[in-house]
Amino acid sequence: MGAIGYYLYYVFTWLITLLPLRVLYGISDLMFLLVYYFSGYRRKVVRTNLINSFPEKNLNEIVVIEKKFYHHLCDILIETFKLSHMNNKHIMKRMLLTNPELLDRLYSEGRDVVAVLGHYGNWEWLVALPLYTKLKVISVYKPLKNKHFDNHMIKIRSRNGMVLTPMQHVVREVLENRKNNIRSVYCFVTDQTPPKREIKFWTDFLNQDTPVYLGAEKIASKYDMAMVYFEFSNTKRGQYNLNVELLFEHTAGMPVHAITEAHVRRLERSIQERPEFWIWSHRRWKHKREHIDG
């Protein structure tokens, strides 16, 4: 999609997000019907991922999760549109940090933090985090191929002072912040699929052989940062809690891959508890170890 397509998209989303959320959720319900029953958007990918991840469930149970996921996917889309027109008071009303005292303590102790999270709940509400903590918030992201959309998402996500940086620039960001004595939290979305050439580690995740990025572990252990796990829990429609859980107080000197295994297992537990909140339409298992190592 080129510049014309982007601006048409922008005008359309700008107009619909002037509506209140209760109306937008009605639009989301209609979108679900279109996406699930008519377009069949990635139905085969979603069904395959769910069956492979939950071999103990029968088809009826899989379909229930599948439909709940598509409802949630439509809500994510609507909420992301709406975020660009929400003021901070409204954002904080809909996204609460459940235990800010943990981040407050790490800040007061002069610690830097690596936060790991997945595409679970609605991670776009992370834009609210700078409103709750004195830590500088750095979001490590993968730039989109379409520069117009990439700039648009950076604008939405960087409100309130959150800084977006590509993975290859993280070390530079760490060194600059430490030089200026700026305590920071570096947020890694860890369930993305590495390109073939970057795969260095495999683990069992949701009953499947899965390649995992090692960036969060490398940055945390190199600078002995604390590591926390972020989980966006949906308390009701349009209302999220960001739960912050300490995984490691110190990470320097830990066995290789132990940190990665720990945060993978923690995300896996979240998904198993509420599977409909994870993004099953992602082609997470498109790479096979035998095709790469063979």
In this predicted structure, the answer to whether residue 9 has a pLDDT above a threshold of 80 is no
* Cβ–Cβ < 8 Å for 200, 130: no
DSSP annotation of 33:
I
Q: Which amino acid, 46? A: V
pLDDT tens per residue, range 247-282: 999 999 999 999 999 999 999 999 999 999 999 999
In this predicted structure, the answer to whether residue 294 has a pLDDT above a threshold of 60 is no
DSSP annotation of 226:
E
- C-alpha 100: how far from chain center: 19
pLDDT tens per residue, range 111-132: 999 999 999 999 989 999 999 9
Map out the domains of the chain as residue ranges: 3-83, 95-293
